Structure 1
Amino acid sequence: MNEGAARPRGRGVRHFRTPAGSAFIALAFSALFLPASAAAHSYTLGDIAVGHLWSPPFTASAEGLAVYGPIAVLNKEAPAHQIVGVNSTISGKVRFRSARDGAEQWPPALVLAPGRPLSLAPWGVHIWLSDLNRVPSAGDSFDLTLDFGKSGTLTVKVVVETATGH
């Protein structure tokens, strides 16, 4: 291109469809939604980004263990994805749980709308592990496998830590 030649306009946005563009978006997502110490615990599967997943320490009164954190479909033009199942080696039963209007609900799957992050949180939907065969303590971690149906599976590390950093 000549020094004085005009540059094409409107092409920069299209670069985000490349793998490098997706990586940039994943890093930006991590920086916006995650504490600095959590950035090392983020994962991608195609255009799905899973941020730092964490669990508060187990308490006997809880009868289970919750998992929280951000999940998003980074490409706004992608179709919706679903998390259709979750497995963990530390529990016999893993489900999606939601407490709304004082009533527990157990949705069969979670829908991930493109460009709209899903926050697994105490006040909304989250992952619930019960029938624990090992009780992790603060500072421990465990593996969790997320099943995105036809989009594949992704094994992530969940860190057990207090909510003060979140």
Structure 2
Amino acid sequence: MTISARAFARPLFRSFEERLGIAVFAAMLLFASTHALLAHGFKAGELEIGHPWSRATPAGAKVAAGYLTIKNNGSKADRLVSVQSDISDKAEIHEMGVDANGVMKMRQVTGGVEIPAGGEVALKPGSYHIMFMGLKAPKNEGETFAGTLTFEKAGTVTVEFAVDAMSGQSQDHSGH
């Protein structure tokens, strides 16, 4: 049996449509894999925890703040009741608020933060946030560190906080 040279010379993809289809498919694969890499989210039961982050700290700093979003896809409210991390002696949930004299004050939240059914709560600068107190070492931009969130119903989940620039707002690593 002889195979002609012409059979080997024929292009693998003969039409423009075939080449375009392969290019679109390759682009979709690249997008899907990049999105997965950029996604910085975690799940605990019906809860989605999006983009945990913190700011870099100067040398000698004893506190750092942590931020994230919590979306409740369930039909019942849940509550973030505590936070732990190995980067500090203790971690607490705090809230910024304005007192009767118009002065901004920070206070520890007792009883946790409710995440309403079908709702979302953002722990962000100037609002609810996590305070890491008694830092064991400075946090540098580009680093990550683990934290454990405990919810009343969904239980515990370990998340990874991305350390962003000291002076900037969070870069959204969630892809949303």
Aligned equivalent of 1:103, options 102, 105, 128: 105
| One-letter amino acid matched to 1:105 | R
**What CA RMSD, in Å, does the superposition of the two structures yield over aligned residues?**
2.0
User: Matched residues in 2 for 1:88 and 1:97: separation?
Assistant: 15
Structure-2 separation of matches of 1:135 and 1:123: 22
Q: Deviations over 1:130-159 (max 9, x none)?
A: 101122200000000001134210000000
Inter-partner Cα distance in structure 1 for 2:154 and 2:36: 29
Query: Residues 17-54 of structure 1, C-alpha deviation per residue, up to 9 Å, x if partnerless?
Result: xxxxxxxxxxxxxxxxxxx7984210111110000110
Contact preservation (8 Å) 1:38, 1:52: no
Contact 2:61 2:138 in 1 (8 A): no
Q: TM (normalized to structure 2)?
A: 0.67
8 Å CA contact retained: 1:55, 1:161: yes
Q: Quote the offset at 1:110 in angstroms.
A: 1.0
Distance 1:160 1:44 in 2: 20
Name the structure 2 match of 1:24: none
Identity of aligned residues (%): 28
TM-score, scaled relative to structure 1: 0.71
Q: Which runs of 5+ in 2 are unaligned?
A: 1-34, 99-103
- Residue type matched to 1:90 in 2? I
Contact 1:39 1:51 in 2 (8 A): no
SS of 1:70 mapped into structure 2: strand
The superposition leaves residues 75-134 of structure 1 with CA deviations (integer Å, 9 ceiling, x where unpaired) of 3xx211011111101111100111211111110211111122111111111011010112
Aligned length: 129
Structure 1 residues without counterparts, runs of 5 or longer:
1-35
**1:121 aligned partner:** 124
SS of match in other structure, 2:93: strand
- 2:135 aligns with one of 119, 126, 132: 132
Report the structure, 1 or 2, having the larger strand content. 2
User: Is residue 58–residue 138 contact of structure 2 (8 Å, CA) maintained in 1?
Assistant: no
Contact (CA 8 Å) 2:95, 2:109: kept in 1 or not?
yes
Q: Which has the higher helix share?
A: 1
